[in-house]
């Protein structure tokens, strides 16, 4: 007899527990926080919606377009937010805010 045989319900509970344990790792970069930041700080110039009704008229790249750019990486996005390397205004973003924004932008990547 197996003393530690788990009933199926316990296995599901254990798996849920494992997922909960993983979620703090994911929150280091928070897509939801990044989206709120984008709406607050970036939407003046960029189209930041996941499914934009129309492309921006200003010629400023939309966030989905940035995400879909071939060879796009979090490093390049981070560099673009650094005013020393672009024509972007200095928004004084913290490292955490940049991480969240990068996570949000990359979440807009088209599904393959
Ligand atoms: C005042 C207008 C303005 C605001 C606000 C703004 N941007 Fe931009 N952004 C631009 C312009 C203009 C460009 C095109 C820059 C260029 O081609 O050098 C750009 C380009 C970019 C690029 C891409 C650069 C590339 O690789 O082509 C990224 C990434 C970016 N912005 C992120 C952001 C994020 C994130 C925010 C909000 C925190 C933001 N921007 C807010 C004007 C703005």
Torsion of Cα atoms, 68 then 62 then 38 then 34, to 10°: 0
Q: Nearest-CA neighbor of 92 among 83, 101, 100, 80?
A: 83
Rounded to the nearest whole angstrom, what is the distance from the C-alpha of residue 68 to the centroid of ligand 1? 15
Decide: pTM greater than 0.75: no
Q: In this structure, which long-range contacts are made by residues 48-57, counting pairs with CB atoms below 8 Å and at least 24 apart in sequence?
A: 50/108
Q: What is the 3-state secondary structure (H, E, C) of 42-56?
A: HCCCCCCCCCCCCCC
Q: Where are the domains of the chain?
A: 28-107
> pLDDT (tens digit, 9 = 90+) per residue, 61-94?
899 999 999 999 999 998 888 776 667 777 888 8
Cβ < 6 A, ligand 1 pocket: 38, 41-42, 44-46, 60-61, 66, 77, 80-81, 86-89, 91, 93, 101
Indicate the CATH number of 28-107 among 3.30.70, 2.60.40, 1.10.760, 1.20.1630.
1.10.760
Task: Among 45, 100, 103, say which to mutate for ligand 1: greatest number of ligand atoms within 8 Å of CB.
Answer: 45
């Amino acid at each position: 007899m197996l003393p530690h045989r788990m009933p199926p319900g316990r296995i599901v509970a254990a798996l849920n527990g494992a997922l909960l344990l993983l979620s703090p790792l994911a929150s280091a970069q928070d897509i939801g926080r990044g989206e709120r930041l984008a709406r607050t700080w970036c939407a003046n110039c960029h189209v930041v919606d996941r499914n934009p009704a129309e492309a921006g008229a200003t010629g400023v790249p939309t966030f989905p377009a940035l995400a879909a750019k071939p060879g796009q990486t979090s490093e390049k996005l981070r560099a673009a937010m650094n005013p020393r390397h672009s024509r972007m205004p200095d928004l004084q973003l913290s490292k955490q805010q940049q991480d969240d924004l990068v996570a949000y932008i990359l979440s807009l990547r088209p599904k393959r």
